[in-house]
Structure 1
Amino acid sequence: MKQILLILDHEENRRLLAQWLEPHYRVLAGDAQVLLADNFDLCILDATALNRLWQQVESRKARERPLFLPFLVVISQRHGHLITGLRRQCVDELIASPVEKMELVVRLDNLLHIRQLSLELEAVNTRLHKNLQRMKDDESGGRHLQFQLLPENHKHIGPYEFSHRLITSAYLSGDFVDYFSIDNRHLGFYMADVSGHGVSSAFVTVLLKSYMARYLEDHREGRDSAILRPGEILDRLNHKLLGGHLDKYMTMFFGVLGLDDNRLRYSQGGQFPFPILFDGTRADFVGIKSLPVGLFEFASYDTVELQLPPGFIMALISDGILEVLPQPRLRDKLGFLLSLISNDSTTIAALVRELALTQENSLPDDITFLMIQKRS
């Protein structure tokens, strides 16, 4: 039952109004100062009571916000001059005295209906806030798991040093990198950028990690050596993503380094910008035009071989970098990226500083760096 607070200085009007309301509402009357701090759904005052208590009324409404707490003033012609300025602003309805019962019924119904809607909206907002917090907690756990799947940073495998950095635009990332020993003669590395952002894209990166781990295990157990043929791996991943009906695709660069001959075998699935290779003298892009992985059934992927210089830096940067560079033309952006990889001491940390990238900045897309360095 809705609760109506009566604060009328005119005792007879208060008694009659309470008598009329009591069959339909719980009527509260008594010490106005105390009752204004209590729970109620609507308050009816007369002009003299409002003139005396308007500051307490305004304070009570302020404490209730964003909920709607209605105040209705019964006003006689004699006291009309009292309801002006701030006093008028703190009430929601005025009704003339003597009061027509049908008009009062309509006014009360309207005000109480708005009050009920505000309560329901607040309940929905509370549930939404709890659900959003739960989602944020889930994303926090997912982010922790996803980052645990990343390889050790500044890892040395044979003569090569691998480092990486992910700067995410959302709590969960669609970018992923990995590098690992395949056997005593080969090591592998890849960068992938899954379409979209958030949970669904991060899920695909976990799937990718699982697929690659399976191909690696198949090689080590002597069942299948496809992990040494990057083009074949991208073909398989293309069919996996299409067959899974995930509505996701990815760009990917997968490379296999030969420890004996410093030779790179790689395949590329739509990765752009191309990897940058610095040979100690100049930097150039390395790569071939190709289709993303998981987008077209007819896509095929070649394995390309490249003899690497005795000492080099290879830098892979995801396409999110292109959205934050200030140059207006793509050609200029790519030229600027080449200029960044210009000496043997280049590091990811130096690139991040040069580009003024921080996790605190709002980014339109994930930006990921993978760097391989071999000293001559």
Structure 2
Amino acid sequence: MVNNKLDNNKLNNMLDNDLFNPIGKYTKSLRMFYITIVLSFLLFIATSLFENAFNSIMSIASFLTWHNLLEFLSILISLGIFLAAYYTYEQTKNLRMMLIGVVFLTMGFIDAFHTLSYKGMPDFFIANDTANRATTFWIIARLVGAVGIFAVCFVDENRIHKIKKHYLVIPAMVVIIVVFFIITYYPHTIPPMYIEGKGLTGLKIILEYIIIAFLICSGFLYLKEYIKTGDSQTIHFSCALVVSIFSEVAFVSYGSVYDIYNYLGHLYKIITYFIFLRTIYIYNIQKPYKDLLIAEENLKHYVQNLDKLVKQRTAELENLNGKLINDLESARTMQLSLLPTNLPDDLSVAFTSRYYPAERLSGDFYNVFKIDNENIVFYIGDVAGHGVLAAILTMFAYQNIKAVGSSENNGECIIKPSDVLQNLYMRFNQTNFSDEMYMVLLYAIYNTKTRKLIYASGGLNATPILIKQGGKVKELDNVGFAICKLAEEIIPDYKDIELKLDKGDKILFYTDGLVEARNSKGSFYSQKTLVKLLSNNSFKDINSLSDSITESIFSFTEKKGLEDDITFVLMDVK
């Protein structure tokens, strides 16, 4: 078989991207998660060893410079995360990514306010003479991030959403403006987060622990989702949240806004933002290009092997087609075996028949057989459509038409045609055939001694034709209800019709495929043409007359072929 998949090693070398390496299973990703926890912890513990050295070499001016660099870098990363999610939302419809982008947009602006209002920075609308305003901006930004990312955990990653993106951005901008005005011009409405000479307030520390709790919950939810779905995006989010937790722990631990734990918290923050940016960038921007490259390589591979694929598929189709044809031929043989082979032909009456299916399997059926020395039963019918389903329905008819039953003295008695149809109708309504399926037929009993014909119609839409000696032709009554699944609404009353026949009479029973056959011009063979043919050839015996009907119908249809099955039975009273 042709290999239809692109070689993974070739793709990995081509893309040089470990994050989406197909061999990166649970073990590798979980190992990365645990390593992130260990390294973050070791860095936090090691920081205490360098606290005195840091305080001796890091002046306030130097700290502010580093602080500004780290904060502005985090702000740029926040905007990058937002822009990556915003400008790919129309294509991805990924609401989770869009909401994360909006959360980082909000944090980015509030972080900008925090940076510009930091103690020691130039005036930002008002004088930056205390650390409380910057700290308040900081804690609000962290709350927005922690609560927002926690809420996003409950958004279905795979669900396609049609929410307009500006409906998400506008509320975020309103929040940003409201936060700026309240903290800048109405600071007394919010309890202080930092008091000069004392340090962090109890409220600020409590809020930090609340933020840590939200981050822990979010990390757990993303880790749980990864274990359930195997989506590596969620495990990278979990790693980012681990680093963010240590960042918040660092911000709880500092005593001065210029000490080493404050500096460490900003480093953790940059790492957190970078992981988020890399994950969102890869999934929203790089991954589609990778998928496109895979598609292009697979397409190229298919084109290179197209001839081989075509030959292979052709061979498979020919094999399947051969099996199907063999099955249809077997079904056709079985269906033909149900047709009578030796029709009654004695001194009193003779029968002959012709059977021309439009396909391998037919929807027409008939039978002629003796039930005793005096009575002959025959029936002819047509089911809806033709082909396999129609053939199955003919099998049902053959199995369920009962000509005789039990009498009161435990002997057998002949069932009247009307009762045969009534029984068949009720049996059909007990089956699981679809409501669209139905059949029409005519059932008759002929007594050779009395030359009396009794028949009942089950809606056969082809009128039997009586041919008298001398060429006189008469269409017989043929009113009846089809065998269909309407027993809950209608219980039909089938009627027996009696007809006394004379010596030399012939009767043609047929299905509608005979008179509804069409030629290449679209014209029907018609009842009129058939009646005229029978009248002109009434002197012929039934075998010769059958040949004349066959020759006439196939001469009429020419090369067009049959659109419906044709079946007819000729009866000759001697």
Shorter-chain TM-score range? 0.5 to 0.7
Say which structure, 1 or 2, has more relative contact order (CA 8 Å, 6+ apart): 1
The one of 175, 178, 181 equivalent to 2:367 is 178
Map residues 200-211 of structure 1 onto 2, 5 A cutoff. Answer: 200-211=389-400
Distance 2:522 2:294 in 1: 66
The C-alpha deviation readout for 1:323-343, integer Å capped at 9, x for no partner, is 22569898x922221112121
Equivalences for residues 1-376 of structure 1 within 5 A: 24=10, 110-115=299-304, 123-153=312-342, 155-157=344-346, 159-212=348-401, 214-216=402-404, 225=413, 227-247=414-434, 248-281=437-470, 282-297=472-487, 298=490, 299-325=492-518, 333-342=526-535, 343-345=538-540, 347-356=545-554, 362-375=561-574
8 A Cα contact 1:157 1:181, kept in partner: no
TM-score by length of 2: 0.43
Q: Secondary structure at the match of 1:322?
A: coil
CA positional deviation for 1:359? 11
Gap change, CA 1:2 and 1:255, over 3 Å in 2: closer
Asked whether the 8 Å contact 1:237–1:294 carries over to 2, the reply is no
Q: Does 292-301 or 249-258 show the bigger shift? A: 292-301
Aligned counterparts of 2:295 and 2:399: Cα–Cα separation in 1: 66
Range with greater deviation from structure 2 (148-157 or 341-350): 148-157
CA contact (8 A) 1:277 1:313 kept: yes
Taking a change above 3 Å as real, the CA distance of residues 196 and 173 of structure 1, as seen in their structure-2 partners, is same
DSSP 3-state at the match of 1:315: strand
Which whole-Å deviations, capped at 9, do the CAs of 1:151-197 have from their partners, x for residues lacking one? Answer: 12554155111111111111011101111111122111110111111
Aligned partners of 1:106 and 1:289: how far apart in 2? 65
Per the alignment, residue 74 of structure 1 pairs with none
Is the CA contact 2:381–2:439 (under 8 Å) kept in the aligned structure 1? yes
Could you tell me which amino acid in structure 2 is paired with residue 363 of structure 1?
L
The SS at the match of 1:323 is coil
| Structure 2 residue identity aligned to 1:261 | T
What is the identity, as a one-letter code, of the residue corresponding to 2:482? P
Higher strand share: 1
Counterpart in the other structure of 1:97: none
2:417 maps to amino acid: P
How far did 1:367 drift? 0.6
Question: Which of the pair is proportionally richer in helix?
Answer: 2
Matched with 1:58 is none
Alpha-carbon separation, structure 2, partners of 1:124 and 1:222: 63
CA distance in 1, matches of 2:397, 2:304: 52
Name the residue aligned to 1:45: none
Using the alignment, how far apart are the partners of 1:245 and 1:207 within structure 2?
12
Residues 218, 208 of structure 1: alpha-carbon distance in 2 compared, 3 angstrom cutoff: farther
Indicate conservation of the 8 Å contact 1:314/1:373, yes or no: yes
Higher CA-based Rg: 2
Counterpart of 2:268?
Answer: none
Alpha-carbon shift at residue 127 of structure 1 (Å):
3.1
Percent same amino acid among aligned pairs?
A: 23
RMSD across aligned positions (CA): 3.4
Deviations 1:272-311 (A, max 9, x none): 2210101213111112322211243222311111111222
Q: Find the residue that maps to 1:130 and give its secondary structure.
A: helix
Alpha-carbon distance, 1:349 to partner: 1.2
Report the CA distance shift for 1:255/1:125 in structure 2 as closer, same or farther (over 3 A): same
SS in structure 2 at match of 1:293: coil
Distance 2:507 2:518 in 1: 20
Distance 1:368 1:315 in 2: 11
C-alpha distance 105-222 of structure 1, shift in aligned 2 (>3 A): closer
| 1:10 matched residue in structure 2 | none
Does the aligned pair in 2 maintain the 1:215–1:224 contact within 8 Å? no
Aligned counterpart, 2:147: none
Tell me the amino acid that sits aligned with residue 308 of structure 1: L
Structure 1 pair 263/237, CA: closer, same or farther in 2 (3 Å)?
A: same
Q: What's the counterpart of residue 34 of structure 2? A: none
Q: Residue 361 and residue 118 in structure 1: after superposition, are their counterparts in 2 closer, same or farther (change >3 A)? A: same
Once the 2 structures are TM-superposed, how far is the Cα of residue 126 of structure 1 from its aligned partner?
Answer: 3.5
Once structures 1 and 2 are overlaid, which stretch shifts more, 107-116 or 338-347?
A: 107-116
Per-residue deviation at 1:322?
2.6
Alpha-carbon distance between aligned partners in 1 of 2:431 and 2:372, rounded to the nearest angstrom:
30
Q: Separation in 2 of the partners of 1:359 and 1:335?
A: 19
Rate the CA distance shift 1:278–1:328 in 2: closer, same or farther, 3 A.
farther
Larger displacement relative to structure 2 (158-167 or 292-301) = 292-301
> Secondary structure of the equivalent of 1:164?
strand
Return the alpha-carbon distance in structure 2 between the equivalents of residues 158 and 107 of structure 1: 81
* d(CA) in 2 for partners of 1:125, 1:243: 43
**In structure 1, what is the Cα distance between the partners aligned to 2:348 and 2:2?**
78
| Alpha-carbon distance in structure 1 between the residues aligned to 2:322 and 2:559 | 20
Output the CA distance in 2 between the equivalents of 1:251 and 1:106.
55
Q: Decide whether aligned partners of structure 1 residues 139 and 359 sit closer, same or farther in structure 2, where only a CA change above 3 A counts.
A: farther
Residue type of the partner of 1:211? N
Deviation at 1:256, TM superposition (A): 0.3
When residues 174 and 360 of structure 1 are mapped into structure 2, their CA distance, relative to the original with a 3 A threshold, is farther
Aligned-residue offset at 1:105: 10
Q: Which residue of 1 aligns with 2:114?
A: none
Does structure 2 conserve the Cα–Cα contact (< 8 Å) formed by 1:168 and 1:359?
no
